[in-house]
Amino acid sequence: MGIKVVGISGSHRKDSLNKKLLDFVAEQLPQEVEYEYADFSNVPLFNQDQEEPIPESVKVFKGKVESADIVLFATPEYNGSISGVLKNGIDWLSRPAGQNSLTGKVAGVMGAAPGQGGTLKAQLHLREILSHMNVDVPGQPRVMCNFAGEKMKEARLVLEGKELESVENLIKRLIKMANAYKQEPVTV
């Protein structure tokens, strides 16, 4: 059985550094690992009055996430936390009640920022949210790409040195976790 990774960016901006981070990480994945980006820019603001029937754009988004063995989140940091669009996407993934598309998933958390912080606060908040939703997120390694604008080469984000090593180690850790999940029988 192969491994499938689905990437989610916490920014819908056309030239999002976090989308570029996901693109870079996707290039580092082993050849046998399938990657798909989950664009959820057309998902409406969450409103419980609109969840039955669930909007088509939400069905598509949930389906992509449900098909994943690993969900890879790249979050910007807005005002010391995750973006509103990422929180909105996660809220939709948890609905309707009892149909959480993230439950039991393995997830990686990372972030790219133009400044020095590297999205540390946002990543901590995202880890807390995902933990509440029964998502297994490894504590290490952490991928925090600071001064990301300076790491652009021909419109692509390129990480080297310790940052590249962190990406490679995170990929290995996530694949190992996902494979262990596939081998464990599900018990209730």
Q: What is the CATH number of the domain that holds 118?
A: 3.40.50.360
Residues 6+ apart with CB under 8 A from 80: 121, 122
What is the value of pTM for the model shown?
A: 0.93
Q: Is 50 inside a domain boundary?
A: yes
Calculated CA dihedral for residues 153, 8, 179, 95, nearest 10 degrees = 180
Task: Say what percent of the chain tops pLDDT 90.
Answer: 82
Answer yes or no: are the C-beta atoms of 152 and 120 closer than 8 Å. no
Q: Is 188 inside a domain boundary?
A: no
pLDDT tens profile 100-137: 999 989 999 999 999 888 799 999 999 999 999 999 99
Q: Is 174 inside a domain boundary?
A: yes
pLDDT at 115: 87
pLDDT at 97: 85
Q: pLDDT category, 185, cuts 50, 70, 90?
A: low
Q: What domain count does the chain have? A: 1
pLDDT tens profile 34-84: 999 999 999 999 999 998 899 999 999 999 999 999 999 999 999 999 999
Q: Is 187 inside a domain boundary?
A: no
Q: Is 164 inside a domain boundary?
A: yes
For 141, the domain range is 4-182
Q: Is 106 inside a domain boundary?
A: yes
